[in-house]
Every structure is written in C-alpha cells, then in structure tokens.
Structure 1
C-alpha cells in the first residue's frame, strides 16, 4: 500500500519557483538580503524540486505583507470586488433598458422614460451601499 506524500515532499512547478524568486527579489529590495545572497538563493531555487526545499530558502525572511491595490473607485477587497461586479451588472441592465427605450422612442414617438423604472431602483441601492462605505477604497492611508 502506498503511503501518502508528505506536503513538504510534493513536487513544485516553475510557477512555484518563480513565485519564490519574486519573494526573494522583494526581500532584496527591502534590504533583508544583499545582492550576492539574492543571487545565491535564486540560483538555488531553480535547482529545487519540492515544497520543503522552497520553504527552506525563505524560512529566515519575514512573511510578505499583502499590498492592497485599491482602484480609484473600488477597493481591493471582497466588498470592492462585489460592488464592482454589481455595478457592471447594473450598467449592462441600464444599457439594455436605455437601448430598448431608444428604439421604441425612435419608432413610435413614445418618449416616456420608462427605462428609469428599471435602472433607478437598483442604482439607488448600489449608491446607498457605496456611500455607506461598502467597496470604497480607503483614503489617506
């Protein structure tokens, strides 16, 4: 019977190696390792075969901090992603409604803006969520 492979013994891909090399570059850029040590470690990374090997080469480095990359309108957070998706859906719905209204208005002369009944209620909900802070990027720091 085959025993399961320990997590440290699982083979790594080139993408895994590149990720660790990027982490080492960040450690060098932040002054944790000098250029010679960076070169040595990166060369070693490309010879490694398992997850345990990769752990060994970064063991003495501080854990990388996740850098938020907030956009000008939506935050880099689950709430920001949700608001972005909902806003895109709302824009598509509104575009379809306005297009339909434009076709009807152009062909029948009926100019009542019925598309507002479709666009305004969900737009008001999105605006309320956004004004209350859901999905907005942090300002100032």
Structure 2
C-alpha cells in the first residue's frame, strides 16, 4: 500500500518556482543578497523538484515584508473600507448628476453646471477626511 508523500517530498510547479524567484529578487532589491548570489539561487530554484528543496534556498532570509499593492489608495482597515464605499457612492452620485445635466443641456439648453452643487461638497468632505488620515494607508503599506 502506498503511503501519502510527506509535505517536503511533494513536487513543485513552475508557479511555485517563480514565487520563490520573486522572493529572491525582493531580497536582492533590499540588499540581503548580492547579484551573484541571487543568480546562483535562482538557477538552483529552477533545478529543484520538491518543496523541501525549495525551502532551503530562502531559509536564511528574513520573512518578506508586506508588499505594496499597485494602486493602493485606501488602507486595508475599517477606515479604508469606509472611505472606499463613500468614494464609490460619491462617484455614482456624481455620474448620475452629470448624466442628468448632460441630457438637460442637450434637450432644453440648460448650461448652468448645477451638478457641481451635488458633487463638490461631498468631494470636499471626502478629501478632508483623507488628508486627515482616515482610510489612508501608512507609509510602509505603499
């Protein structure tokens, strides 16, 4: 009867190898390993077959820092989620107002930009909250 493979004996995929190569690139970018060591380790990663082997190549590196997400505007916190929801509501309200103004401007020749009275005050409030730090990511998160 075959016994299940130990976790360290499980084969790895190219995606697993690429994830470790990316971690090594980050370690190089942060100055933990030099370029020649980076090259050696990456070449070794692409020769490896199992998770146990893969773990060896990063064992002496510190845990990776939380990576910045591209386009991170709001923090991953309750305040960030609240600001994101409020911003989405504001964008929807503004889109409806501008659309209504556009339809009126085309049909009854209304040119006064009344939609600004709908859009600008909430935008000022959202900007004030954001500038004061509510929902904004900390410097280390960006």
Aligned partners of 2:65 and 2:53: how far apart in 1? 22
Aligned partners of 1:64 and 1:13: how far apart in 2? 21
CA RMSD of aligned residues (A): 3.9
Query: Quick check: 97-106 or 56-65, which moved more?
Result: 97-106
Query: Quick check: 41-50 or 101-110, which moved more?
Result: 101-110
Question: How many correspondences in the alignment?
Answer: 136
Query: Quick check: 26-35 or 51-60, which moved more?
Result: 26-35
Q: TM-score, normalised on structure 2?
A: 0.63
What does residue 45 of structure 2 align with? 45
Aligned partners of 2:66 and 2:126: how far apart in 1? 28
Specify the SS of the correspondent of 1:58: coil
Q: TM-score, normalised on structure 1?
A: 0.63
Aligned 1:43-122 pairs, distance under 5 A? 43-68=43-68, 74-75=73-74, 77-79=75-77, 82=81, 83-84=83-84, 86-108=86-108, 113=114, 116=117, 119=119
In the alignment, structure 1 segments of 5+ residues that lack a partner are none
What does residue 133 of structure 1 align with? 133
1:77-114: CA deviation from partner (whole Å, max 9, x where unpaired): 31486445652452243122221123124423566947
Aligned partners of 1:7 and 1:22: how far apart in 2? 22
Contact 2:80 2:136 in 1 (8 A): no
